[in-house]
Amino acid sequence: MNTQKTLVLLKPCTVQRALIGEIISRFEKKGLRVAGLKMMQLDDAILAEHYAHLVDRPFFPGLKESMMVTPVIALALEGVDAIEVVRQMAGPTNGRKALPGTIRGDYSMSGQQNIVHASDGPETAAAELARFFRPEEIFEWKSPLERSLYSDDGC
Ligand code: IDP
Ligand code: MG
């Protein structure tokens, strides 16, 4: 059973548009377990690290700025194949290209103001969870509904 944890950030556009509850609710309804949740004000240093793959892009200063407009909500979500499941739920980067039914497809008209960040693979998920959460901020609580979410072998 490939149980994974992944990092999601609800971006400042989501906080400002009062969509925090709605977006968290979509992940909960899907069956992902909320293992960690907090509000954080991001700064230059953490964003330079988080978006290191984009530092040379012309839009990087604007991206960084947009991520500091308000605090963000950081979520640690867990489930079988959670990293890919959450990326699929988020949809492609540009909200105008994302299909209806995805989070970006349903809530975003932008390639930057696109509601959520979601880790894109096992290595980035591990690094990003460690970047945004201390170990004691990730909780291993069990749901009595687990047997309604998965078969015994995790299928
Ligand atoms: P992802 O969030 O879908 O993984 P990345 O390529 O990792 O996409 O880019 C990180 C974030 O940078 C995007 O979510 C978006 O907010 C922003 N971004 C990506 N491409 C552009 C662009 O061309 N203009 C402005 N912002 C961009
Ligand atoms: Mg990315």
* CA geometry: angle 119, 67, 20, nearest 5 deg: 70
Predicted model pTM: 0.98
Q: What is the pLDDT of residue 154?
A: 85
Tell me whether residue 117 is one of the annotated catalytic residues.
Answer: yes
What percent of the chain has pLDDT above 70? Answer: 100
Ligand 1 neighbour 94 (Cβ under 6 A): no
Q: How many CA atoms lie within 13 A of 105 on its CB side?
A: 12
86's tokens: 């959450």
| Ligand (nearest to CA of 63) | 1
Say how far apart CA 105 and CA 88 lie, in whole Å.
Answer: 11
* 40-64 pLDDT, tens digit each: 999 999 999 999 999 999 999 999 9
- pLDDT classification of 66: cutoffs 50, 70, 90: very high
* 32-46 pLDDT, tens digit each: 999 999 999 999 999
- Write the residue with the smallest CA distance to atom 3 of ligand 1: 93
